[in-house]
Amino acid sequence: MMTHTTSVLHRRVGAAAFLLVLLALLTGCDNEQARFPDRDNFTATVNDYLAQRGHVCLAKYAWPITVAAGSHEPDAQQMPVLEKLGLVTGKDVATAGQAREYALTDAGRKYYLQVPVVIRTTTQTVTHPADFCAATLSLDRLVGWDPPQTRDGRTATSLLFTYRIAPDAWASTPEVQQAFPLLARAIQREGTMQVRLGVHLTRRGWVADELDMH
């Protein structure tokens, strides 16, 4: 004969099991909703991506940076500007010839973010562990998206959006924008430049690939 205590216990276990099933169903519904290719989901995907990876960086991956005397490379113009702002410090060094070596100062290291940067070419993919960054992006407007396509079991599409940009104070100076024309272009085209972002579908919803600002 079932005792009163056993009966109560069974009812509690049954109720707990029911709640777990209900929670799983609700979670499944939430995930299913997040998988729809609609404006709300794609807006959330862009916002999530930019919150983590929306940095505008200057392709200064490894430090110190050495500039040969008489060089016409971009570093020859850019490093003195950063030195004047106190973000780097330079010293003369003797290598194969005269050169100047630039290292980040304590102030400059605040902008050297340990966020991997993936560079893809037609022949190889290179990942840099960090970069020197000058501004952050946020979403202005989701312009639209391509119809999702499924290939080899992977569903993907690409989104178009415009952005807002928040340069660090030093990056807004005319000297910096003259030395870094791509940064200046990104600032000048705030709200108008359309950026393409690849996304793919996962069990939890849409996830961004890599940002393409070209």
- Domain tally, the chain: 1
DSSP letter at 173 equals: S
Which residue range is the domain that position 50 belongs to?
34-212
* 4 in any annotated domain: no
* 17 in any annotated domain: no
* 97 in any annotated domain: yes
List, for the chain, all residue ranges whose pLDDT scores fall below the cut of 50: 6, 8-10, 13, 21-29, 213-214
Asked if residue 149 lies in contact with residue 156, where contact means CB atoms within 8 angstroms, the answer is yes
| Beta bridge partners of residue 136, listed in sequence order | 55, 166
* 29 in any annotated domain: no
The per-residue pLDDT for 125 is 87
* 28 in any annotated domain: no
* 122 in any annotated domain: yes
* 116 in any annotated domain: yes
The per-residue pLDDT for 119 is 81
Give the C-alpha separation, 59 to 189, whole Å.
Answer: 20
The per-residue pLDDT for 31 is 66
